[in-house]
Chains A and B, each alone.
Chain A
Amino acid sequence: MSSGYKRIDIKVDENGKVHIDTSGFVGDSCAKEAERLVALLQQAGLDVKTDKLELKAEYYAKAESGVKVKRQ
């Protein structure tokens, strides 16, 4: 079962470009979290555009819920 640990590492480089690396996300939860982050940054007045998106192996993994649902 997943521990629920999630990490987002961000580097603002010397030219002001932002590099974001995530870990602990499964499936498209990472993309959803990134969308929330971008929306909040736009609210802060930043001009945010995605230059390059690299999907990691976790993106293609299925979520482990640790919960089984029985159908009656």
Chain B
Amino acid sequence: MKIKTVNEALVKQTMNAIGKFLAEHGHAGVQLVDKVGDFYARDIRNLVIGVVADDIRGFGIAIQDGKPIVVGDDYMQRLTIQNFTKMFENFYTAISMQEALKAMGYQVNATVLPKMEIAVRGVKGAGYGV
């Protein structure tokens, strides 16, 4: 993972955005949760936040040695842990970018593109429109 240290507030913001994205893209019953199980249905320790849906048994972000790791159970699931990891990394990066731009005085907006690409635009100055 390209995220070296955990910013828990950003992790939660990211999972909230992922939850909305999943709900808008064909996953029913999406919920953010504080417990996620592993393959053996044992609760995963040090979970920051998780997400479940009717067709997602549970993925989440836990902290191990101060670093974030993606956890969960993707056995026989449409969304694999590899795909979820990529989604989390890209959303986390984009949200970090948005927060950084806001701190620098920009007005920002973001769009999720096909293939899990994310475009972020920040503008400031006279006569702008995001």
In residues 61-99 of chain B, which contact A (Cβ within 8 Å)? 86, 89-90, 92-94, 96-97, 99
Instruction: Give the interface size class of chain B.
Output: 35 or more
* A41-B100 contact given A4-B125, A5-B123, A11-B118, CB 8 Å threshold: yes
Q: Does B116 contact A (CB under 8 A)?
A: yes
Asked whether, in the complex, the Cβ of A16 is within 8 Å of the Cβ of B89, the reply is yes
Q: Does B104 contact A (CB under 8 A)?
A: yes
Q: Does A51 contact B (CB under 8 A)?
A: no
A-B contacts, CB under 8 A, total: 95
Smallest beta-carbon distance A32→chain B, Å: 11
Tell me the A residues contacting B by CB distance below 8 Å: 3-14, 16, 18, 24, 33, 36-37, 40-41, 44-47
* A11-B119 contact given A16-B89, A44-B10, A47-B3, CB 8 Å threshold: yes
